[in-house]
Chains A and B, each alone.
Chain A
Amino acid sequence: MNTRTALIGVVLVVAAVVLFIVLGGGDDSSNDPSTTTGAGKVPTIVVSKQGEPVGGIANLTYKKGDRIRFEVKVPFEEEIHLHGYDVAKEVPKGGGTVTYDLPAEIEGVFEVELEGRGEQILELKVEP
Chain B
Amino acid sequence: MTFIPFAHALAARQDLPVPAWLFAWAASIVLIVSFFALSAAWREPKFEDEHARPLGERLSAALLGLPAQVLCGAVGIFLLGVAVYAGLEGTEAPDRNFALTFLFVTCWLGFPFFSAIFGDLFRPFNPWRAVGRAVGGGFQAIAGQRPAHLAYPRWLGRWPAAIGLIAVVWLEVVYGSGGVVLDPEAGAVAVLVYSAYTLAMMAVFGVGEWCEKGEVFSVYFGMFGRLGIFGSRDGRLRRRRPFSAATTWATIPGSAAVVVASIATTSFDGGQEGAFKDALESVFNWFTDAGMHPTAALRLSDTIFIALCFAGVGLIYLLGVRGMRTVPGAPPFAKLRVGFAHTLIPIALAYLLAHYFSYFFFQEQAQFTYLLSDPLGTGTTDLFGTASAGVDYRALSANAIWYVQVSALIVGHVIGLMLAHDRALVYWPDYRKATASQYWMLAVMVAFTCFGLYLLSVANG
Contact = CB atoms under 8 A, between A and B. Distances in A.
Interface of A: 1-4, 6-7, 10-11, 14-15, 17-18, 21-22, 25-26, 28, 57, 83-84, 86, 105-111, 118-120, 125, 127-128
A14 B397 contact: no
A21 B399 contact: no
Contacts of A86: 12, 390
A83 B16 contact: no
Nearest to B328: A1
B61 interface: no
Contacts of B13: 83-84, 106, 108-110
B60 to A, nearest CB: 45
A128 B2 CA distance: 28
Nearest to A59: B461
A110 B390 CA distance: 16
A123 B31 CA distance: 35
Given A83-B12, A109-B15, A10 B20 contact: no
B439 A7 contact: yes
Which 7 A-B pairs give the minimum distances between C-beta atoms? A83-B12, A107-B398, A109-B14, A7-B439, A25-B20, A10-B443, A108-B13
A80 B312 CA distance: 41
B393 A106 contact: yes
Given A6-B323, A10-B443, A84-B12, 16 more contacts: A3-B326, A4-B436, A4-B439, A6-B443, A21-B20, A21-B23, A25-B20, A105-B394, A106-B393, A106-B394, A108-B13, A108-B398, A109-B15, A109-B460, A110-B13, A119-B2
Interface stretch (B202-210, B347-355, B446-454): B446-454
Contacts, number: 92
Contacts of B399: 128
Contacts of A128: 397-399
**Majority secondary structure of chain B interface residues (helix, strand, loop or mixed):** helix
Nearest to A18: B27
A22 B17 CA distance: 13
Interface residues of B, number: 38
Contacts of A118: 2, 4, 181
A69 to B, nearest CB: 20
Given A6-B439, A108-B15, A110-B12, A15 B31 contact: yes
B24 interface: yes
Given A6-B439, A7-B439, A109-B16, A84 B24 contact: no
B229 interface: no
Contact of B440 (A3, A57, A105, A125): A3
Interface string B371-400: 000000000000000000010011001110
A6 B440 contact: yes
Interface string B431-446: 0000011011011001
Interface string B1-27: 010100010001111100011011001
A18 B2 contact: no
Contact of A25 (B14, B15, B327, B457): B457
Nearest to A1: B436
A2 B443 CA distance: 14
